[in-house]
Structure 1
């Protein structure tokens, strides 16, 4: 593959709803440009983008693929992203490396949830964008309704460039709404011809939309528009270039990716309308010293580790040695590659704005900055979504714990919205993800790629035990055998401390030396060991106040061990009589949903024993604030997306412990007995 200068590069992310046709569009662009000799299909599992076995099996994209397309002396780096929200981390990676986006829509579906999400992501990143409506051959396509919906949903920036041209139900071409000419598809060619009859009303509707969008970018054009003066093609095209780069104009193009109809026009407009990397929101500079941003990591047990990067400044050459800002280590780039899906093409150099990959870096991760040792450069990390779905994971094979741990570490390197932690209290490895589909992919990858069989289960909830009453008891440990015996005797009082953040408070109120001071630490040590396992279900005890009041000792047989044992006896008897109860962890939950889903969410919260704290209107969404038992929300993020068609989001954190209802307590106690 040729090496391209900054001005000749376009970096675009394909965004949109799952199944809207992003991968097929990528394939159509690559095939039309001559980048491959065979047109791959998702259903056949032979596309350049979806090359992972999980993607082929599921027939969906689960990670972003880089597909460079050479077109008319330009290089278009296409970042084909997943449409399913579980894999949003890959979308964020792509957006960090691109300078513009194409939001793909199916003509038969119009605006979907993923379309709205894609628009929000572009707005947040201030990305220039274009809408591409595919599958124009679908029956009963109403392009006017789709455009009106887009304008209502996304504003007056929507600027349709074409009116679709049909022969019966066959999509055969389009009428260019700017140049006012018709173009007919003939194989891979586009033939210019006269505007067909019967399209005057549709053309006027579309041309009005584009003139309104163009007029809003310039005061002179606005005056012309209201004065009903003619706005020339040259003025429109100039305004388009400026308006698209500023995000004020969003062109709309149509096509049919499977037949490759409209693909040439799309690629021409990518080059014409979208900014080169030096004109982008975060411009790349050829004149500065070398700086790379690692935006993605790919780990494969067979081909090893690849770090995908964007050259943000200067140029990068094979065998360059660059400083990793995070680690302070120097990494040598022995080989530089341009990736086309899973294919690797080695190049000598890449210029600012281009995207490449390097293999086998020692200690470089996603979001790291690599730079010339003399440069003063560090790039902002990607703001990944926090995962809230959690499951405990267990290896099926004996002795596979380490093998599983190593494989999970590699998968975490690939996806920054997935992580694991070992819970020392429950002795479980817990994995966190955006959704259950993401975790299901992890399980399959462990099995297929790393040959580790695993099972998932809900994580063990960290319940606690405490007491509600006050009780005074004596604990005596007396044992006589040959030689010295064992003797410890304590009188203790147990009551609530009032502080559930502290396991226990220990005091002594001994008068007259009935228990020598030297044994006080042994009594506290015995107490410290006891609170790890409560009397109801064996959960740790919190909020306990223990006071040593009295006791007795033997000058020969008493020892620290004997007083520890006496304390244990007192604890078990006293806590049982002091109204023990089980506490459950409560989460502070914030749910953001469109207003029409508020009732459903409130009803579901009630089923989960949640309590409403408040509601706030934030822009066009309701923020519902509630407190919910932690045991009820391990998979809530997935359930919420199901209830709201993907439009709802949730964040939560541990708030406090409080007493569980009696029926819940009984279930917890029974479950622990069964486990034992």
Structure 2
């Protein structure tokens, strides 16, 4: 896509439940606008958005994809997002850099849970929204019923602009109500009233004359779309392109440019660029997708990542289009671009000019809810396992890799079983590393339910200097999360001060190794009450042994239990 001035740009995210036709709609918009010479089809594995093998195999999106369109001297960046809940992280990432949103609803299924979730979440990011009712060419479609569902769920501000043309008894296409008021005069009048209510001058004219000019309607409608007070609804049949030119017209005429919305308090005359997606390529390396929030960016610059206080060399800039990236020399404010091989920067980092310490807030993502233990399939895979998984995790912040020190397992956490499976598939495809997954072992802990006082004397004599350490300890439960709390109430020097740390060391060593079943002991208060020493035979080692053995006996007497 050629570079456009900021006032001609539109950044639009497509959201909705899986299967509603978001990707088909983006393919249709790309074809209608001339981005492609042939319309991509999901079923034929020719979609511009769904280019990854995992997507083509499933027939649905599993990651965020960017599709540029040019329409009537405007540049549109479409951010096509997956609808399946396991991949909601990509949808949230796209919302963080979009200025507007299109919620896609299936005319044959109505509002589904994925679309409802996206609608509610979008309020945190964008005000300007459309609803597209797709698949209106399907059998037994009741467009009015779907519109009723939308108004009931999302508000009376959701008003149809285009509707199916069934004047002949069969579906013939779509009709624009603004251009043909007679096809649905009631909806037209309601829309005009909403437009007039938002502007005192328009309301006065409407009350006096009973109508508004087309220019006044469009201007008032755009202002209301930008403020979120009106949500236009459109009818489309994406796979056949019906209703798509009308939607492109609305995107360019009603959605805001980056200039027309909140600037996020970007400092004047500064470079501010926000990374919202990272991809790992086995040949190219790290690929970073970003939006230009500050002044225009040029190739071969130096920027600073304030998150890690590191300088990044910006080499060649690219404009993304599906799986391809087109080299460009500059990217205007509001543009979405690609940089490769950044050394220190990750998703949700901000890159600024030197001397500018501004950073955009990092986007918050949901916490992973599903975990597996990961292990190499062969010894050859072991050497590359951690590095390859780490590179996939860098692509997707909703994946978290860590190690359970208790069980010795490598744990991968994600948003669901499918999420994890596809991550493993990508590791194998991109880095030729085969991995096995299993249920993580349970990390047990030991604690006590009762109290005990133990009097333990460690005494050993076998010629020469002996060993002598005597401790009296009180052991009792503590608050959850307290670990082992050790304290001393010894008075009079019965246990010399220099030996008290040795007693604590003995207690903690035994606690770490477990007593009941070999798992760490937690949530226990240990108080050294008294004891005795020998002027010759006492030593740090003797008191460490006394502390460890005394603690072991005390726990056994204090009703020990296992915790999960």
Tell me the alpha carbon deviations over residues 250-281 of structure 1, each in whole angstroms, 9 at most, x when there is no partner. Answer: 11111111111111111111111111221133
Superposition deviation, residue 118 in structure 1:
2.3
Partner of 1:460: 442
Superposition deviation, residue 88 in structure 1:
1.9
Partner of 2:75: 75
Structure 1 window deviating more from structure 2 (112-121 vs 265-274): it is 112-121
Would you say how many aligned residue pairs link Structure 1 and Structure 2? Answer: 561
Judging changes above 3 Å, is the alpha-carbon distance between structure 1 residues 472 and 121 closer, same or farther for their aligned structure 2 residues? closer
What SS is found at the alignment partner of 1:237? helix
Partner of 2:561: 581
Superposition deviation, residue 49 in structure 1:
0.7
Partner of 1:606: none
Partner of 1:152: 152
8 A contact 1:530–1:568 mirrored in 2: yes
Superposition deviation, residue 175 in structure 1:
2.6
Judging changes above 3 Å, is the alpha-carbon distance between structure 1 residues 484 and 396 closer, same or farther for their aligned structure 2 residues? farther
Tell me the alpha carbon deviations over residues 283-332 of structure 1, each in whole angstroms, 9 at most, x when there is no partner. Answer: 89998343322222111223321111212232122222223333343322
Judging changes above 3 Å, is the alpha-carbon distance between structure 1 residues 178 and 283 closer, same or farther for their aligned structure 2 residues? farther
Residues 500-511 of structure 1 mapped to structure 2, 5 A cutoff: 501-507=482-488, 509=490
Superposition deviation, residue 352 in structure 1:
1.2
Which of 544, 551, 557 in structure 2 is aligned with 1:564?
544
Judging changes above 3 Å, is the alpha-carbon distance between structure 1 residues 471 and 375 closer, same or farther for their aligned structure 2 residues? closer
Superposition deviation, residue 380 in structure 1:
3.1
Superposition deviation, residue 368 in structure 1:
2.3
Distance 2:316 2:267 in 1: 21
Partner of 2:113: 113
Partner of 2:398: 417
Distance 2:399 2:362 in 1: 16
8 A contact 1:166–1:172 mirrored in 2: yes
Distance 1:322 1:123 in 2: 32
Runs of 5+ unmatched residues, structure 1:
182-199, 585-630, 632-676
Q: Does residue 14 of structure 2 align to residue 14 of structure 1?
A: yes
Partner of 1:195: none
Superposition deviation, residue 384 in structure 1:
2.5
Partner of 2:472: 492
What SS is found at the alignment partner of 1:48? coil
8 A contact 2:26–2:80 mirrored in 1: yes
Superposition deviation, residue 130 in structure 1:
0.9
What SS is found at the alignment partner of 1:31? helix
Judging changes above 3 Å, is the alpha-carbon distance between structure 1 residues 526 and 382 closer, same or farther for their aligned structure 2 residues? closer
Runs of 5+ unmatched residues, structure 2:
none
Q: Does residue 223 of structure 2 align to residue 242 of structure 1?
A: yes
Tell me the alpha carbon deviations over residues 438-482 of structure 1, each in whole angstroms, 9 at most, x when there is no partner. Answer: 2232232233323141313235335231251324344545474xx
Structure 1 window deviating more from structure 2 (156-165 vs 425-434): it is 425-434
Residues 347-426 of structure 1 mapped to structure 2, 5 A cutoff: 347-373=328-354, 377-398=358-379, 403-426=384-407
Distance 1:114 1:282 in 2: 29
What SS is found at the alignment partner of 1:146? helix
RMSD: 3.1
Distance 2:169 2:426 in 1: 43
Tell me the alpha carbon deviations over residues 484-516 of structure 1, each in whole angstroms, 9 at most, x when there is no partner. Answer: 575445353443164551514353658796x77
What SS is found at the alignment partner of 1:43? coil
Q: Does residue 336 of structure 2 align to residue 345 of structure 1?
A: no
Structure 1 window deviating more from structure 2 (227-236 vs 54-63): it is 227-236
Distance 2:209 2:106 in 1: 35
Distance 2:534 2:61 in 1: 73
Partner of 1:88: 88
Distance 1:330 1:519 in 2: 51
Residues 36-435 of structure 1 mapped to structure 2, 5 A cutoff: 36-166=36-166, 170-180=170-180, 203-222=184-203, 229-282=210-263, 288-373=269-354, 377-398=358-379, 403-435=384-416
Structure 1 window deviating more from structure 2 (290-299 vs 562-571): it is 562-571
Give the TM-score normalised by structure 2.
0.89
What SS is found at the alignment partner of 1:125? coil
Tell me the alpha carbon deviations over residues 49-101 of structure 1, each in whole angstroms, 9 at most, x when there is no partner. Answer: 11122222222212111111122222111110111222222112211222111
Distance 2:39 2:468 in 1: 84
